[in-house]
Structure 1
Amino acid sequence: MSKVAGRKKRIIITTAALVAIGGGAAFAYWTATGTGTGQASAGQTVAFKVASTPATGDALTPGGPTQSASFTVKNENTGTQILANVTAKVANADGSAWVAVPGCSAADFAVGTPDITKGQISAGTTVSGTVSIQMVNRDANQNACQNVTVPLFFEAS
């Protein structure tokens, strides 16, 4: 019996030693830290593209009817942009003051507030709107404004 007890004792001791050695190896590791840098390039704002059609309606006369002009605003950026505001006024294509002829100017006309849905516009998307224009009745001779073509200037931001 002592041979069996001795043999069991050796097996137990050998197993315990192997577990201790193997278990210690299982918990061995190294730690390390590191740093690095990188970069990405952000795009920039691309101006909205605004286009309009000629105003329609009865001829403009002092204090008379209004005309309505349709316009579109297109997001030409590669990402979404916010359309916060659209303004319209009587002005040259570059936004400078318009005078048709002496005695007829932008002051002879009133442009309404553009009607358009504002907010996020996805890349490449176009939204449509309208604006009204009317000839004001000034306490002055407005004969110089007869038969003029009144330019509208739009600004979208």
Structure 2
Amino acid sequence: MRKLSKKGKVYAAAAAVALVAASGGAAYAYWTTTGTGSGAAANSSGGGTVSLHATFNAGLAPGNDTSVAYTADNSSNTGTVVGALSATVSTSDPTHCLASWFTVTAVTSNSAVAPNSSATSVGSGTLTFLNDPANQDSCKGATITVTVGSL
């Protein structure tokens, strides 16, 4: 085997350093990725239903009117708002004491009703017993009912 010259030794050393650097002197690795995602959760079902009530004084006679108070009960754990009110009249003797002899109003309230509350005022109105030319004696002792709803 032949001896390396000084110049050959320098080339051999430089080649060895280059080989070490290329093979393991500096190494790194990483992963790349792309992706998408989403999440979902259901909202509470509360806050949509309340019980509405209409209250007025007894003893209404033909040609007179009385104030009606509208209230709401909310048994859910979520507050809600009562919007426009609608009201209708019915009687316990619809054949002889006609519902058409009565009118009722319901003021739009847009009232907040707190969770787990009762008797929250949500509006007012007027119940009128119209004075019809027909005999209205059949309404004596009849029960007049005001049914209220929210739109």
TM-score normalized with structure 2 length: 0.62
Contact 2:92 2:142 in 1 (8 A): no
Distance 2:111 2:94 in 1: 39
What amino acid maps onto 2:36 in structure 1? T
Deviation per CA, 1:33-62, whole angstroms, max 9, x where unpaired? 222343212333632211343x226x3222
What amino acid maps onto 2:66 in structure 1? Q
Task: Give the 3 Å change call, closer, same or farther, for CA 142–124 of structure 1 in structure 2.
Answer: same
Distance 1:31 1:78 in 2: 47
Distance 1:152 1:120 in 2: 22
Paired residues for 1:98-117 under 5 Å: 98=91, 100=93, 102-114=95-107, 117=109
Instruction: Report how far residue 137 of structure 1 moved.
Output: 1.2
Among 140, 143, 146, the alignment partner of 1:146 is: 140
Instruction: Report how far residue 133 of structure 1 moved.
Output: 1.0
Q: Which runs of 5+ in 2 are unaligned?
A: 1-27
SS in 1 for 2:128: strand
Task: Give the 3 Å change call, closer, same or farther, for CA 85–76 of structure 1 in structure 2.
Answer: farther
Deviation per CA, 1:100-121, whole angstroms, max 9, x where unpaired? 153212111111223x631544
Larger Cα Rg: Structure 1 or Structure 2?
Answer: 2
Q: Residue 17 of structure 1 aligns with which residue? A: none
Distance 1:101 1:35 in 2: 65
What amino acid maps onto 1:50 in structure 2? L
> How many residues are aligned here?
124
Instruction: Report how far residue 29 of structure 1 moved.
Output: 6.2
Contact 1:99 1:106 in 2 (8 A): no
Q: Which runs of 5+ in 1 are unaligned?
A: 1-24, 92-97
SS in 1 for 2:42: coil
SS in 2 for 1:152: strand
Task: Give the 3 Å change call, closer, same or farther, for CA 120–30 of structure 1 in structure 2.
Answer: farther
Deviation per CA, 1:62-85, whole angstroms, max 9, x where unpaired? 212x12232312344443433221
Contact 1:47 1:75 in 2 (8 A): yes
Paired residues for 1:1-157 under 5 Å: 31-44=32-45, 46-53=48-55, 55-56=56-57, 59-64=59-64, 66-91=65-90, 98=91, 100=93, 102-114=95-107, 117-125=109-117, 127-128=120-121, 129-157=123-151
Instruction: Report how far residue 155 of structure 1 moved.
Output: 0.6
